[in-house]
Amino acid sequence: MVAGPVAAKETRESDPEMTKDRGYFFGYSFGAILQKTGNIDVDIKVLIEGLTDALSGTPHKMDARET
C-alpha cells in the first residue's frame, strides 16, 4: 500500500463517482460561502475558468491591482 499524496492521487483517478461527489461538494461549499458573504454577483463562466486555471497550474489573468 502506498501512503501520502501518491495514494490520494491514485484513489481520485480510480473512482469517477468520488471525483464527481468531491467536485459537487467543493462547488456547493464555495457557492454557500459566496452567498453568506453577499458576493453572489459573479459570472459563473468566468468563475469556472478561474477554478480551471488554478487547478491546472495556469497563471492567473488578473493584473497586480486585482490580486
Sketch the domain layout of the chain as residue ranges: 5-66
In this prediction the pTM is: 0.63
E-state strands within 1-67: none
Contact yes or no for 22/13 (Cβ under 8 A): no
- CA distance linking residue 12 with residue 20, whole number of Å: 10
Secondary structure letter of residue 66 according to DSSP: G
Residue 22 to residue 15: CA distance in whole angstroms: 11
DSSP code, position 58: P
pLDDT tens, position by position, 6-62: 555 555 466 999 999 999 999 999 999 999 999 989 999 999 999 999 999 999 998
